[in-house]
Amino acid sequence: MAFRSTEEVDTWAAVKGGVDAVRVSLARGDWADARSVRIVEEWLRREGERRAEAVRQSAIGLARRATEATELAASAAADSAKHAKESARWAKGAVIVAASALFVAAWPAFDLLRRFAN
């Protein structure tokens, strides 16, 4: 049988047993002409998209997406905590450098005070 449209594949699939029957017939090589094979492959692609959309809209699909979003948020929070810890370590180093710079900058003033005290 040669198909001229995906609607004909729909009709054939409804009679013969659905997507699985189409896949088996395609694998077996029941359609020899390239045009029919392309039409059947396009029908299988569209049917896969329809099924995927149905799963996405189902309660299971919504729960799966919510779980993935939660995992992504947890991963982002862990990364943020790691970066915050690293920033705190750099801030401690900056405080030490600033205190050292203050001491070096203030040393001449201390030396001057010591001279006046004598």
| DSSP per position, 17-83 | TSHHHHHHHHHHT---SHHHHHHHHHHHHHHHHHHHHHHHHSHHHHHHHHHHHHHHHHHHHHHHHHH
Whether residue 81 lies inside any domain: the answer is: yes
Structural domain boundaries, residue 85: 6-90
Mean pLDDT of 77-105: 95
Residue 34 in this model has a pLDDT that exceeds 70: yes
Whether residue 101 lies inside any domain: the answer is: no
Whether residue 34 lies inside any domain: the answer is: yes
Whether residue 82 lies inside any domain: the answer is: yes
For residue 15, what is the enclosing H or E element?
A: helix 6-16
Position 118 confidence tier, pLDDT thresholds 50, 70, 90 = low
Position 39 confidence tier, pLDDT thresholds 50, 70, 90 = very high
User: pTM score, two decimals?
Assistant: 0.48
Whether residue 19 lies inside any domain: the answer is: yes
What mean pLDDT is reported for the chain? 89
Whether residue 106 lies inside any domain: the answer is: no
Whether residue 107 lies inside any domain: the answer is: no
Mean pLDDT of 94-98: 96
- Percent of the chain residues past pLDDT 70, beyond the cut: 99
- The count of structural domains within the chain is 1
Name the least confident of 1-5, 38-42, 76-80, 86-90: 1-5
Whether residue 112 lies inside any domain: the answer is: no
Residue 59 in this model has a pLDDT that exceeds 90: no
